[in-house]
Structure 1
Amino acid sequence: MSGGLLIESVIPGSIASELEIEPGDRLVAVNNRPLRDIVDYNFHADGEELLLEIVKPSGEVWEVEVERDDDEALGLVFAAPEPARCGNRCVFCFVHQLPKGLRRPLYVKDEDYRLSFLYGNYVTLSNIGEEDLQRIIEQRLSPLYISVHATDPALRERLLGRKGIIPILDIMTRLAEARITMHTQAVLCPGWNDGDALRRTVADLASLYPRVASLAIVPVGLTRHRDRLPLLEPVSADYARDFIYEWLPEAQRLADAFGEPFLFLADEFFIKADAPFPPLDFYGDFPQIENGVGMIPLFMDEADRVLRRARRMKPRTLTVVTGHSPYRYLADFLARLSARTGITFQPVAIPNRLFGESVTVTGLVAGRDILSELAGRNLGDGVLIPDVMLKEGEGVFLDDLTIGALEQGLGVPVVVVPSSPAGVMEGIRALRP
């Protein structure tokens, strides 16, 4: 039987474990409600008295009654849902700009509102139908994370490379009326969705506040592998300066009007323009942090706190790698940390040979690029690698190089640390002589 949810593991000592539910079983219904996916499970299993229908690998069917406290988990871990595939051909799609030879999952484009609700994935909602909308509303799938890019229907179709899609404002208005919270983004492509088009987008989305809770403007990312793709211009330093000059006051005006931040400019604008960041309260509760909004200001704020607690340590030398975007901020922190601790730090910005040196974010640095850049250098007593360079839970880089292989190639210990000032301190302790 293939219906229901495959149970991947059972937490020891949990209710499910005591009931002898096992990995490989399938949960097919809760309270006589068939389960299509984990979203159905979360919705229907939210109660103190449950009737579970379990199908064993042999085909035997169990009906299990459960009584539990309201906050007590069943202890079931399910296999990840298979995402719905994206049918867009966005002019800026990063997947279309990947070189050959990377891990197969990197070429998969998902477009699944369930993953938006569960994990914060951004979706365009270009494939959504009436049944999906009804489900979102009925099951209160909130918040959702929506890639708007432009609210003008014709322009949005050009950007997504797809015709005949439902105008995004029609969908979002219905969701807003149903009290679904939405966080939104626009990938800014100079000459496409900036200027008057962006002013319309911001005004349209602001009109749906507070249900549209935030909007992040993110500069387009371009690799050197844009073969047979539409011509796009990168965001230059001059463009970024002009953009900040125009839009930072508008962001502040909207924050004053709403009583909280609404419009956010990605850190990359300030990095490219070599401009000072807004104060920390500009970012509110950091609703767009995963979108590269507020990461550097938060890093600098944490750096000050870490430095106040830092004390002298045994002298040694550590190499710390990063991408080009955050290099100056990391290097400044490490210089001040060196003065406090007596440790010598060697920050190294890794050129991105895999995607092209216009790609400067830390999370897209490949393992072999690190190996190439550091080979033959005196790396001191070890190398610190920020965790954002690795696939979560697998310890491999984008190009499948492992930490073990990197360590062997460099001939010194390599430690993976959180990409934060506190993470650097963790690395220092891990490499303590």
Structure 2
Amino acid sequence: MDGLLIEKVMPGSVASELEIEAGDRLLAINGHRLRDIIDYNFFSADEELTLEVVKSDGEVWEIEVERDESEPLGLMFPAPVPAQCGNKCVFCFVHQLPKGLRAPLYVKDEDYRLSFLYGNYVTLANIGRAEVERIKEQRLSPLYISVHATDPLLREKLLGKSGIVPILEVMEELAAARITMHTQVVLCPGINDGSFLEQTVNDLAALYPLVASLAVVPLGLTRHRKGLPELRPVTSDYAADLIAAWQPRAKELAGRLGEPFLFFADEFFIKAGLPFPPIEEYGDFHQVENGVGMVPLFLDEAAEVLDQAQPLQPATITVVTGESPYQYLSDFLRNLGQKTGITFRPVAIRNRLFGDSVTVTGLVSGRDIIDGLREVEVGDLVLIPDVMLKEGEGVFLDDLSVADLQDALHKEIVVVESTPWGIYRAITGV
């Protein structure tokens, strides 16, 4: 039977008026059998529709629908079950996870549909001809592609998979179909840098504007990396040399292409102790979810908040963060305290779960927060940035909840948006 299980029907919607209910299954639209939510979005775009619905009791309904093109049907479906990754990337973070974390963290997805729907990065190393044709036919654009290297043999080494169709062949075909692509390179010192990075940048820039951006991000190594290929970490000296060599090239490319194209993750600048590029050099921030431009955006927004902040009732508030952004957050909170009268205590949480080399805020566990705050006079309450929690579930990487932290610390905990405005809105609420 297949089709799509209907998870929710929006009240007052077209579907609600047609007595379609949660638990029903939508099999087809205008005779097209539905494989996933992408098919639903693609085939439901017409004004006149014929829906084939199987009710929860097994009865089959065929429903004729006429509606304005802009009027949604009002159906909601579960997220697609991701296709599993068949690669064995030498730098794979999942392979370096300890036991006892949230079960979904151990799932390696490699699904072009999730790339289109949610911006997940995929290698396209496991994609077949039918999937490529579907991408072109249904115009699944933009896609987010992990390239890592355009040299075919090096890419096979990095992905731990042989017999891969060269990535440039796939991307050139997608570009010819006007599919926009954002790309990334996970940089492994001594492996895909140097002349290989030069080749990758040149090859991808040649496909601009269909390849719209390229982010270079550092590999992540945890203390649980055992029985895996030996890799060199990104050191402060390596990061400084990389930025010195490549930032002028990024500017040159931006001038030649007409807009910013090549970006380097914030972590390189933090490790090197170098200033970030001006905010206009990040373009439309296509790669911000990839850790590119997050801190510059934070600093830019911090200036807005400080310009508008007003005095508040005195309080002492602890704000937790990862080690990487600590200095930037600490500077902002010191200035915000002067404007509001609040006493802030920023605390950088050491990552004991993954090891000292992992310093980003989003990979801090609940247990490490508890351990990091045990000897701290936290004051009236604790602010936790939302990036530390799984969206929609409110649990940390190690499955601890906010309530677990409150029980352990005996303090009120407030989860805040991880931005200057998020922090300011939280304290005005207090």
Tell me which residue corresponds to 1:216.
215
Tell me which residue corresponds to 1:19.
18
Q: TM-score, normalised by structure 1?
A: 0.98
Where does structure 2 lack aligned partners over 5 or more consecutive residues?
Answer: none
Q: Distance in 2 between matches of 1:65 and 1:246?
A: 62
Residue 376 of structure 1: CA displacement? 3.9
Q: Distance in 2 between matches of 1:225 and 1:39?
A: 38
Residue identity matched to 1:116? S
Q: Distance in 2 between matches of 1:86 and 1:39?
A: 20
Q: Distance in 2 between matches of 1:26 and 1:309?
A: 51
Which SS does the other structure have where 2:53 is aligned?
A: strand
Tell me which residue corresponds to 2:275.
276
Where does structure 1 lack aligned partners over 5 or more consecutive residues?
Answer: none
Tell me which residue corresponds to 1:403.
402
Q: Distance in 2 between matches of 1:345 and 1:256?
A: 42
Residue 314 of structure 1: CA displacement? 1.3
Residue 257 of structure 1: CA displacement? 0.5
Which SS does the other structure have where 2:7 is aligned?
A: strand
Q: Give CA-to-partner distance per residue, 1:247-306, whole Å, 9 cap, x none.
A: 100100010001100000100000000100000000011000000000000000000000
Matches within 5 A, 1:23-62: 23-62=22-61
Residue identity matched to 2:49? L
Q: Percent identity?
A: 68
Q: Distance in 2 between matches of 1:383 and 1:70?
A: 48
Which SS does the other structure have where 2:6 is aligned?
A: strand
2:315–2:343: 8 Å Cα contact kept in structure 1? Answer: yes
Residue 73 of structure 1: CA displacement? 1.1
Matches within 5 A, 1:150-189: 150-189=149-188
Alignment of 1:426 onto 2:421: no
Q: Distance in 1 between matches of 2:63 and 2:204?
A: 47
Q: Distance in 2 between matches of 1:316 and 1:40?
A: 53
Residue identity matched to 1:43? F
Alignment of 1:327 onto 2:332: no
Tell me which residue corresponds to 1:121.
120
2:9–2:20: 8 Å Cα contact kept in structure 1? Answer: yes
2:87–2:160: 8 Å Cα contact kept in structure 1? Answer: yes
Residue 57 of structure 1: CA displacement? 2.1
Q: Distance in 2 between matches of 1:92 and 1:274?
A: 25
Cα root mean square deviation, aligned: 0.7
Matches within 5 A, 1:292-331: 292-331=291-330
Alignment of 1:257 onto 2:262: no
Residue 377 of structure 1: CA displacement? 2.4
Q: Give CA-to-partner distance per residue, 1:182-206, whole Å, 9 cap, x none.
A: 0000000000000000000000000
2:312–2:428: 8 Å Cα contact kept in structure 1? Answer: no
Tell me which residue corresponds to 1:364.
363
Which SS does the other structure have where 1:184 is aligned?
A: strand
Which SS does the other structure have where 1:320 is aligned?
A: strand
Q: Distance in 2 between matches of 1:308 and 1:377?
A: 30
Q: Distance in 1 between matches of 2:349 and 2:303?
A: 25
Residue identity matched to 1:301? D
Q: Distance in 2 between matches of 1:336 and 1:47?
A: 54
Residue 375 of structure 1: CA displacement? 1.5
Which SS does the other structure have where 1:380 is aligned?
A: coil
Q: Give CA-to-partner distance per residue, 1:144-181, whole Å, 9 cap, x none.
A: 00000000000000000000010000000000011000
Q: Give CA-to-partner distance per residue, 1:359-418, whole Å, 9 cap, x none.
A: 000000000100111124211110000000000000100001000111121111100000
Q: Distance in 1 between matches of 2:403 and 2:86?
A: 38
Tell me which residue corresponds to 2:130.
131
